[in-house]
Amino acid sequence: MYKLILSLVLAVSAAPVFAAETPSYDQLLGQLTSVQGEIPLAPVADKAAFAAETEGRYWVTVKAADKRARTKLLEAGFDIVEINGDKVSGIAGPELMGLLSSKSYGLVEKTALAALVPDTKDFPSQDAIYHNYQETYDLLKQLASANSDIASLFSIGKTVEGRDIWCLRLNSSVKGEGPSTKPGAFFMGNLHAREHLTTEVSVLLAAWLLEHRNDADVKKYLSTLDIYIAPMANPDGSEYDIKTGSYQYYRKNMAKNADKSRGVDLNRNFDSWWCEAGASTYPGSDTYCGPRAFSEPESQHLKRFFEGRRNLKTHITYHSYASEILYPWGGNEADVPNDKDKRAFIKIATEMGKLTNYAPTKSSDMYVATGDSADWVYAATGALAFTFELEGRGFYPGAAIVKGAVERNIKAAVYLLSVTDDPYKVI
């Protein structure tokens, strides 16, 4: 990917706002359109190269009549990925297969994950346009240095394995981690490892905003707001998902659990009714909530980030995939108690829904799951926090999907910026 960018940059003269080595948004998207088609879910060539992670895990479809049934499945440790009418599909480990095959569950279909996963040492060639950790960091660094009057890069903190959670800040008066009184917006990608499209949406949003920094509306947001973009909130998991020789369908962080299993679901580890529903206490499960709320360095750093920036008014955490824009609560079937907030949530989600063709949805209508980041952000800071479930079929939807997803989501993000000065002006 990086070599591709470099050769393109050498071949095409850079737009004036970018330093010579910085690829423009169009150049980045040029690459995105140059590869077409979804990744075929082909049988794996070298089964011996398979990491233990896919061993004994299945892609499973079971009956689940309603959201209560879905929440119960999450609690049993089932990782729901798709909801289709009265059925759900997702990933189950060996410990769950017995239960799901029993009479009390309606098992419709199961396929060994090992048979579905394409072989790769990094992003596979069809997906070379996706940014891995180093490429994401390099692009953020280039964007910051080419726009050093308004952009800066800092680390929110280090992960379990010692990687930095990089965050690009766009603020015309303050750099790095200095405090700001301007209303703030925070865009975050890739809290779940395998949801790589969310990294692309976030990092290309950054590239687009800076390339369009002289457009009247963008210029206004850049001079009046405090904007943060962290495209990879779970870089350990994200790298693990692509670096072990094959896509791993990996969701969690890389915590070493007491029972020797790996990973805590960061979107169950926040202190919002922590581990009460739709989460598992079994460490091997994909929805493991961790030993306690905020047990993980990644969630701790995000907590500190939000608590130290009370100027933040709006937030999107990007996930994939369901084409939905979710608003609180997700951990509780009730509506948020503050009527003004509720109306603002619904109105803003609806407007962003028109721009993306995603469905505005109360999060708990998907399923009740406690400990998610958006519930905590809203409850703890009052910032209007949305969970985007991007479009696509599958976690590895291929290169062709990226351009449209990025373009649609830039529109929604720019709309969110347009209300960040006062989100209640929409009601």
Selected catalytic residue, list 38, 389, 391, 407: 389
Judged by beta carbon, residue 208 or residue 367, the one nearer ligand 0X9 is: 367
Q: Please, what is the Cα angle at 70 between 275 and 250, to 5 degrees?
A: 70
Q: How far is CA 422 from the centre of its chain?
A: 25
By a kind-dependent CB cut-off of 5 to 8 A, residue 367 interacts, out of Zn ion, ligand 0X9, none, with ligand 0X9
By a kind-dependent CB cut-off of 5 to 8 A, residue 417 interacts, out of ligand 0X9, Zn ion, none, with none
Write out the two tokens for 62.
Answer: 């079971």
Taking the C-alpha atoms of residue 345 and residue 190, their distance in angstroms, rounded to an integer, is: 23
Nearest partner of 73 among 55, 59, 58, 92, judged by Cα: 92
Tell me, yes or no, if 53 is annotated catalytic. Answer: no
Whose tokens are 């509306």? That residue is 217
Residue nearest to ligand 0X9 (CB): 330
- Least CB distance from residue 130 to Zn ion, whole Å? 16
By a kind-dependent CB cut-off of 5 to 8 A, residue 406 interacts, out of Zn ion, ligand 0X9, none, with none
Q: Which of 182, 192, 303, 362 binds Zn ion (CB under 5 A)?
A: 192
Taking the C-alpha atoms of residue 236 and residue 120, their distance in angstroms, rounded to an integer, is: 17
From 220-228, 238-246, 299-307, 323-331, span contacting ligand 0X9 (CB under 6 A): 323-331
Q: Which of 196, 315, 319, 403 binds ligand 0X9 (CB under 6 A)?
A: 319
Q: Which of residues 170-209 bind ligand 0X9 (CB under 6 A)?
A: 192, 195
Judged by beta carbon, residue 79 or residue 226, the one nearer ligand 0X9 is: 79
Contact status: 367 vs ligand 0X9 (CB under 6 A): yes
- Least CB distance from residue 235 to ligand 0X9, whole Å? 17
| Binding positions for ligand 0X9, rule: CB under 6 A | 81, 192, 195, 267, 319, 326, 330-331, 363-364, 366-367, 369, 372, 387, 389
